[in-house]
């Protein structure tokens, strides 16, 4: 029997060696894999033990996101006191729906894991209090944001977006999108409801979690003529250069013809038209011909100089504008004409177009857009500040002056399409756009800056599918009044 | 009186030097046990105090009660062993005590309410430990009632199946409820099963060793001798299917097969046993959804899938694998040094106080703690088998193997399940897990191991081994008593 008992001992030792190996695997070798397992609630719960920093508006007082101490297991819960208004700027920090936008981008500051916060975290540890994160102070002006939202909602109840930036710094001062959602739904204490809200919002056909100002791309329509005109001026033409002005433009390789808006004949039916007049009247025939003359490469180069199809650094996800690569136009000449007036496969959103307008306003120098002014530690000291940063120079100062002159005429000239943006005592430079869509009524655009002689604010508006005017909508009628209201507010006239 | 001793142990042959030497060994062992017990008390009380400091909050008076329970209970246990079973293997009691202390600290850390219950049960278990040592003065007392004990064991194992008495808690029908009390009779049943098997196999081993037929390299016993094996298989399967308890089923059958093999030295029983259990397990896998689920969880516990249909949301683990995955995450969080007592979040694991206590210890005490627990079980199993080898009677050997086997197999089943070496089946980790029946039964089991290791209780040996100070007064020589039998002379001399 003793032999069997000794063998049993050996077998037992072997079983325990297996367990020994297993605990070593779980606790040492495989531990980091398990710790980073996306379903591991410990990591998530730990992140809720931190007094996460606030997200504030530019005034440093308006609270966009804050943490409240619930005393429960998931101790610090996020609250968004402004409701839906800043949802697409702050994003959310949700147990069931994840983390997005500024909450995600500046997570290391907000949750105090950044090395810049080592000092204060250490003192929190010594004083045995929850780690406190840094506060993120955005560039958003709460007054501007509020007015932009009110005006946009009136014009575009079914969808649209507004972006307002300071052309000389790139600071985003207002960013509004419709439809909205309330991020508080995604941080509600009832986790089942939280998960349900997440599913509902992610599955909704209107994509409320996406921002129409920065995520989606729409045909920019005639606002893209700013890019086409820039390309012409950068390639040796002037505002007074003329192009043929037929009543309709026969297109190569096809029997299709390009028409003007409403089938009109620009410049009173004159055979040729200056580029300035073509912009003022937003003459499709003239710009289609101009695009064919410049060719896809010149248009593409100008668009990318403005930031299309390039990486533009921004604090939250940003879909830069898109212009098809020149190779896509081989044997597709009509597409070049359509692209020159912002149709075909050209795509943009208000921020992408606002970068174009801002560059024109800023003497041809394009600033990187930014949403965050500074980061302050829990004790109020500034840990990091974000100054203006140049993205590039898409056009020369001369082109910038010429473009500004033409854009002022778009608003001020009796023939101009942007007269709805006129503000007594302020020179507004703008450009309308009415983009044909496959989905019904056109998207109405307006992009502008003011005052033209000393630009302080650039505003771009898109009203999707005609907004409250439906198929009667044009950029001048629906979008320009929204932009005007934002400019008035920015210049202290409201 | 002395004639009675002639039947035991061959004590007549003990030379006084040997007796002195034996007493020296006893004293040394007792000293070692005292030292180890003090270490266990310090570690257990220290762990509970650290938990208190780690978690914070109020209720410090309880802490004093718990500390007093450990000090008084363990010292009393030590003294009881010293008095009732001198010369016992010194590692058993302190090792079990330390396991209980670590488990208690974690239970207190996770659910202070359960710790109060557990403290009552620990007191009861320690009393039962002493009483067992007191009443079972020689393990051979247990060898007399083979079939009564066997029947009782089967009844206890299958009692929860009875309607009205049995209760299903957390999916397994292993409880009986009597008023406010619920109890797992199988915890006591498994000890009786080990006693029955030791007794039965010791008597029948020659019969079972006969293997007239050869099949390949294996000698097969006669069909009628396979009866008990089939009966044990039947009981194990009944536990599996009627009580829905995989872990206990595996434990009983494993225990039976191991003891049968040790008794008969016939490897064929291991093979037949394995085949029978495998057949039962496969059948259970095919027919009981609960079993199939356990296997699926075992394979996929930490593989993730999105919780929600769309995009960048947090992930979920495999359907029923939440508990298992939480255990894995807890152990990973612990790492080498652990989070520190009271600093982790083992309470997030469902049933962390019972089935997953090992993961809780591994989280807060790290690899150091989990390896420590494994080593303590290694000590219990190793010393238990050493005691088995040292026994001279077959019953004692088999009983020691059986009792040790219960501890070793049960620890492997649950730790293997928690670490996903094998599919998870819910059994307690002996001495460590929360659970009154389990704690009580395991301390009785430990008392039996202590008893076997120490040999018969000293009171019956007293006349033989008594020292002048404490022995009965020697008959005065002046009485002119006739010379005692030669064989007794040395003993008389010792008395003088």
Q: Is B327 on the interface with A (CB under 8 A)?
A: no
**Tokens encoding B182:** 């619920």
Q: Which residues of A touch B398 (CB under 8 A)?
A: 1
A38:B304 CB<8 A: yes
DSSP A471: G
A357 or B296: which carries more pLDDT confidence?
A357
Q: Measuring CA to CA, how many Å separate B413 from each of A87, A96, A191, B236, B386?
A: 51, 35, 35, 15, 22
How much is the pLDDT for B92? 95
Burial of B215 (0-12, 13-18, 19+ CB in 10 A): exposed
B335:A20 CB<8 A: no
- Give the least confident one: A163-167, B121-125, B306-310: B306-310
Contacts of A169 (CB under 8 A, 6+ apart): A367, A370, A387, A388
How much is the pLDDT for B214? 65
pLDDT-derived band of residue B179, with 50, 70 and 90 as boundaries?
Answer: low
B216 or B301: which carries more pLDDT confidence?
B301
Q: Is B389 on the interface with A (CB under 8 A)?
A: yes
Q: Which of B172, B252, B251 is nearest to B410 (CA)?
A: B251
How much is the pLDDT for A40? 75
Q: Is A381 on the interface with B (CB under 8 A)?
A: no
Q: What's the whole-model pTM score?
A: 0.62
Q: Which of B386, B419, B416, B421 is nearest to B404 (CA)?
A: B386
B262:A4 CB<8 A: yes
Q: pLDDT by residue (tens digit) across B455-475? A: 888 765 444 444 444 444 444
**Tokens encoding B387:** 């005691």
pLDDT-derived band of residue B216, with 50, 70 and 90 as boundaries?
Answer: low
> Active-site residue A222, yes or no?
yes
B474 or B84: which carries more pLDDT confidence?
B84
Name residue A177's beta-bridge partners: A161
| Cβ-contact B231, B253 below 8 angstroms | no
A16:B367 CB<8 A: no
How much is the pLDDT for B10? 42
Q: How far apart are the first and last CA of chain B?
A: 19
**Tokens encoding A441:** 């009524």
pLDDT-derived band of residue B246, with 50, 70 and 90 as boundaries?
Answer: confident
A1:B419 CB<8 A: no
CA distance A251 to A255: 7
Beta strands in B277-349 (DSSP E): 304-306, 315-317
Q: Which of A229, A218, A219, A356 is nearest to A291 (CA)?
A: A229
**Tokens encoding B434:** 């929360």
pLDDT-derived band of residue A202, with 50, 70 and 90 as boundaries?
Answer: confident
Out of A5, A39, A202, closest to residue B397 by CB: A5
* Number of neighbours of residue B54 by Cβ within 10 angstroms: 16
Q: pLDDT by residue (tens digit) across A414-459? A: 999 999 999 999 999 999 999 999 878 999 999 999 999 999 999 9
B170 or A79: which carries more pLDDT confidence?
A79
Q: How far is B7 from chain A (nearest CA, A)?
A: 23
Whether the ipTM is more than 0.90: the answer is no
Would you say residue B446 has pLDDT above 80? yes
Q: Is A268 on the interface with B (CB under 8 A)?
A: no
Q: How far is A99 from chain B (nearest CA, A)?
A: 8
B310 or A115: which carries more pLDDT confidence?
A115
How much is the pLDDT for B154? 85
CA distance A12 to A48: 44
A5:B421 CB<8 A: no
Catalytic entry in A211, A222, A358, A400: A222
Q: How far is A32 from chain B (nearest CA, A)?
A: 7
pLDDT-derived band of residue B221, with 50, 70 and 90 as boundaries?
Answer: low
How much of chain B exceeds pLDDT 70, in percent? 79
Q: Looking at chain A, which residue has its C-alpha nearest residue B329? A: A34
Would you say residue B21 has pLDDT above 90? no
Angle, CA of A133, A138 and A140, to the nearest 5°? 150
How much is the pLDDT for A61? 94
- Give the least confident one: A150-164, A233-247, A269-283, B278-292: B278-292
Out of A9, A23, A31, closest to residue B382 by CB: A9
Q: How far is B279 from chain A (nearest CA, A)?
A: 22
CA distance B378 to A308: 68
CA distance B371 to B125: 26
How much is the pLDDT for B480? 41
Compute the mean pLDDT over every residue in chain A, rounded to the nearest whole number.
93
A202:B311 CB<8 A: yes
B374:A199 CB<8 A: no
How much is the pLDDT for A296? 95
Mutate to test the interface with B, among A2, A19, A202 (most CBs of B within 10 A): A19
Q: Looking at chain A, which residue has its C-alpha nearest residue B407? A: A12
How much is the pLDDT for B220? 65
How much is the pLDDT for B496? 30
Q: How far is A225 from chain B (nearest CA, A)?
A: 37
| Cβ-contact A213, A350 below 8 angstroms | yes
| Cβ-contact B304, A39 below 8 angstroms | yes
Would you say residue A279 has pLDDT above 60? yes
CA distance A94 to A78: 8
Q: Measuring CA to CA, how many Å separate B399 from each of A445, B171, B263, B377?
A: 90, 32, 11, 18
B366:A27 CB<8 A: yes
For residue A332, whether the previous peptide bond is cis, meaning omega lies within 30 degrees of 0, is no
Q: Is B129 on the interface with A (CB under 8 A)?
A: no
A1:B397 CB<8 A: yes
Would you say residue A128 has pLDDT above 90? no
CA distance B337 to B131: 39
Q: Which residues of B touch A4 (CB under 8 A)?
A: 261-262, 265
Contacts of A427 (CB under 8 A, 6+ apart): A408, A412, A450, A451, A452, A453
Q: How far is B221 from chain A (nearest CA, A)?
A: 18
Would you say residue B104 has pLDDT above 80? yes
Q: pLDDT by residue (tens digit) across A216-249? A: 999 999 999 999 999 999 999 999 999 999 999 9
Q: Which of A172, A142, A151, A146 is nearest to A446 (CA)?
A: A151
pLDDT-derived band of residue A96, with 50, 70 and 90 as boundaries?
Answer: confident
**Tokens encoding B10:** 């061959």
Q: Looking at chain B, which residue has its C-alpha nearest residue A24? A: B367
How much is the pLDDT for B402? 96
Would you say residue B286 has pLDDT above 80? yes
Distance of CA B461 to the CA centre of its chain: 29
Helices (H), B419-475: 436-454, 462-465
CA distance B379 to B382: 5
Q: Which of A209, A218, A146, A275 is nearest to A445 (CA)?
A: A218
Would you say residue B319 has pLDDT above 60? no
Would you say residue B162 has pLDDT above 80? no
A1:B265 CB<8 A: yes
Q: Which of A94, A51, A118, A112 is nearest to A375 (CA)?
A: A112
**Tokens encoding A341:** 């007036």
Q: Looking at chain B, which residue has its C-alpha nearest residue A95? A: B314
Out of B326, B401, B412, closest to residue A5 by CB: B401
**Pairing mode of beta strands B218-220, A98-99:** unpaired
Highest mean pLDDT (candidates A463-472, B125-134, B291-300)? B125-134
Burial of B333 (0-12, 13-18, 19+ CB in 10 A): buried
How much of chain B exceeds pLDDT 90, in percent? 31
| Cβ-contact A431, A418 below 8 angstroms | yes
Q: Which residues of A touch B309 (CB under 8 A)?
A: 199, 202-203
């Amino acid at each position: 029997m003793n032999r069997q008992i000794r063998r049993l001992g050996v077998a037992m030792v072997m079983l325990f060696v297996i367990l020994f190996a297993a605990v070593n695997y779980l606790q040492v070798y495989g531990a980091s894999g398990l710790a980073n397992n996306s379903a591991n609630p410990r990591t998530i719960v730990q992140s809720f033990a931190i007094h996460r920093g606030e997200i504030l508006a530019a005034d440093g007082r308006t609270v966009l996101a804050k943490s409240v101490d619930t005393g429960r297991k998931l101790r610090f819960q996020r609250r968004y006191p402004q409701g839906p208004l800043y949802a697409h700027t702050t994003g959310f920090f949700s147990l069931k729906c994840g983390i997005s936008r500024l909450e995600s981008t500046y997570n290391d500051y907000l949750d105090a894991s950044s090395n810049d916060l080592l000092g204060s975290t250490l003192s929190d540890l010594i004083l045995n209090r929850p780690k406190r994160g840094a506060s993120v102070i955005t560039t958003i002006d709460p007054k501007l944001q509020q007015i932009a939202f009110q005006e946009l909602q009136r014009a575009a109840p079914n969808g649209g977006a507004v972006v307002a930036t300071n052309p000389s710094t790139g600071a985003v001062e207002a960013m509004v999108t419709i439809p909205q959602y309330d991020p508080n739904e995604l941080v509600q204490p009832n986790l089942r409801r939280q998960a349900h809200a997440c599913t509902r919002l992610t599955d909704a056909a209107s994509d409320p979690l996406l921002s129409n100002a920065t995520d989606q791309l729409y045909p920019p329509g005639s606002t893209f003529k700013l890019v086409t005109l820039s390309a012409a001026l950068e390639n040796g033409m002037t505002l007074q250069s003329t192009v043929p002005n037929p009543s309709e433009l026969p297109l190569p390789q096809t029997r299709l013809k390009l028409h003007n808006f409403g089938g009109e004949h620009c410049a009173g039916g004159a055979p040729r038209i200056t580029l300035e007049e073509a912009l003022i009247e937003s003459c499709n025939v003239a710009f289609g011909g101009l695009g064919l003359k410049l060719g896809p490469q010149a248009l593409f180069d100008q668009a990318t100089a403005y930031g299309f199809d390039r990486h533009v650094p921004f604090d939250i996800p940003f879909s830069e504008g898109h212009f098809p690569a020149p190779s896509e136009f081989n044997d597709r000449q009509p597409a070049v004409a359509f692209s020159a007036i912002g149709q075909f496969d050209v795509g943009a959103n208000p921020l992408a177009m606002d970068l174009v307008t801002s560059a024109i306003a800023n003497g041809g120098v394009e600033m990187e857009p930014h949403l965050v002014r500074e980061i302050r530690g829990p004790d109020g000291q500034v840990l990091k500040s974000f100054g203006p940063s140049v993205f590039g120079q898409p056009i020369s100062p001369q082109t910038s002056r010429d473009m500004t002159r033409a854009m002022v005429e778009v608003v001020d000239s009796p023939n101009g399409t942007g007269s709805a943006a006129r503000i007594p005592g302020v020179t507004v430079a703008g450009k309308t756009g009415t983009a044909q869509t496959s989905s019904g009524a056109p998207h109405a655009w307006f992009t502008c800056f003011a005052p033209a002689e000393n630009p302080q604010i650039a505003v771009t508006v898109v009203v999707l599918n005609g907004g409250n005017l439906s198929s009667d909508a044009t950029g001048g009628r629906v979008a320009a009044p929204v932009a005007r209201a934002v400019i008035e507010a920015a210049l202290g006239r409201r | 009186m002395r004639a009675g001793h002639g039947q035991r142990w061959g004590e007549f042959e003990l030379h006084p030097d040997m007796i002195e030497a034996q007493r020296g060994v006893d004293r040394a062992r007792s000293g070692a046990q005292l030292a180890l017990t003090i270490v266990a008390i310090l570690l257990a009380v220290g762990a509970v105090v650290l938990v208190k400091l780690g978690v914070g909050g109020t209720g410090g008076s309880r802490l004093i009660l718990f500390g007093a329970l450990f000090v008084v209970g363990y010292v009393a246990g030590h003294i009881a062993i010293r008095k009732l079973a001198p010369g016992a293997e010194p590692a058993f009691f302190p090792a079990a005590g330390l396991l209980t202390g670590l488990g208690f600290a974690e239970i207190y850390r996770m659910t202070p309410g359960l710790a109060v219950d557990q403290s009552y049960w620990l007191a009861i278990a320690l009393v039962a430990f002493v009483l067992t040592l007191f009443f079972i003065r020689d393990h051979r007392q247990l060898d007399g009632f083979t079939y009564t004990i066997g029947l009782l064991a089967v009844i206890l194992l299958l009692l929860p199946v009875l309607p009205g008495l049995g209760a299903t808690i957390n999916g397994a029908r292993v409880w009986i409820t009597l008023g406010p009390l619920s109890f797992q009779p199988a915890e006591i049943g498994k000890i009786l099963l080990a006693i029955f098997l030791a007794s039965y196999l010791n008597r029948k081993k020659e019969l079972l060793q006969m293997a007239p037929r050869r099949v390949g390299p294996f000698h097969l016993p006669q069909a009628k001798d396979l009866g008990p094996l089939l009966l044990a298989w039947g009981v194990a399967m009944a536990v599996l299917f009627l009580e829905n308890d995989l872990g206990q089923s595996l434990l009983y059958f494993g225990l039976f097969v191991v003891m049968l093999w040790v008794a008969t030295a016939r490897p064929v029983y291991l093979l037949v046993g394995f085949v029978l259990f495998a057949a039962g397990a496969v059948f259970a896998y095919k027919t009981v959804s609960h079993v199939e689920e356990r296997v699926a969880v075992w394979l996929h516990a930490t593989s993730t899938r999105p919780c929600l249909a769309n995009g960048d949301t947090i992930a979920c683990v495999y359907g029923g694998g939440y508990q298992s995955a939480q255990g894995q995450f807890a152990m990973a969080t612990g790492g080498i040094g652990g989070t520190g007592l009271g600093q982790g979040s083992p309470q997030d694991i469902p049933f962390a106080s019972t089935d997953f206590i090992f993961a809780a210890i591994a989280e807060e005490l790290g690899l150091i703690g989990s390896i420590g627990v494994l080593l303590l079980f290694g000590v219990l199993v190793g010393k238990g088998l050493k005691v088995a080898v040292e026994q001279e009677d077959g019953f004692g050997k088999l009983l020691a193997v059986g009792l040790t086997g219960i501890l070793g197999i049960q620890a492997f089943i649950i730790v293997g399940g928690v670490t996903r070496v094998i599919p998870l089946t819910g059994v307690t980790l002996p001495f460590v897990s929360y659970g009154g029946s389990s704690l009580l039964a395991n301390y009785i089991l430990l008392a039996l191991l202590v008893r076997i290791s120490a040999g018969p209780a000293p009171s019956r040996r007293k006349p033989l081994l008594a020292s002048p100070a404490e022995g009965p007064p020697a008959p005065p020589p002046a009485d002119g008593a006739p010379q005692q039998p030669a064989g007794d002379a040395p003993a008389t001399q010792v008395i003088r």
